[in-house]
Amino acid sequence: MKLQEAVSIRLIELLNAKNMTRYSLCRKIAMSESTVYNIINDRCKSINLSTLFLIAHGLDMSPSEFLDNELFDKDKIEIE
């Protein structure tokens, strides 16, 4: 699985778990809806580390908590 796809899946899982919409996340972290939409729909070629930090903080978690998921196991991730 590509890294971008894993981030997309993880973000969708966390938004659902927290009963949070993309819109409310965007408002909370002052990020454009199109950026979050593109991440969720796996349309980003790469995801900036600062973007990942903002998203994690918007979900009230640390980046390490965001990445602490089997989706990101080194044997499962393809990094381009």
For helices 22-29 and 33-40, what crossing angle results, to 10°? 130
pLDDT at position 79 is 76
CATH code for 3-68? 1.10.260.40
Are 80 and 2 within 8 A, CB to CB?
Answer: yes
Tell whether the model's pLDDT for residue 43 goes beyond 80. Answer: yes
Annotated domain spans of the chain: 3-68
pLDDT at position 78 is 83
Query: If pLDDT is split at 50, 70 and 90, which confidence band does 46 have?
Result: confident
Amino acid (one-letter) located at 80: E
The whole-number average pLDDT for the span 29-35 is 92
> Between 6 and 80, where is the model more confident?
6
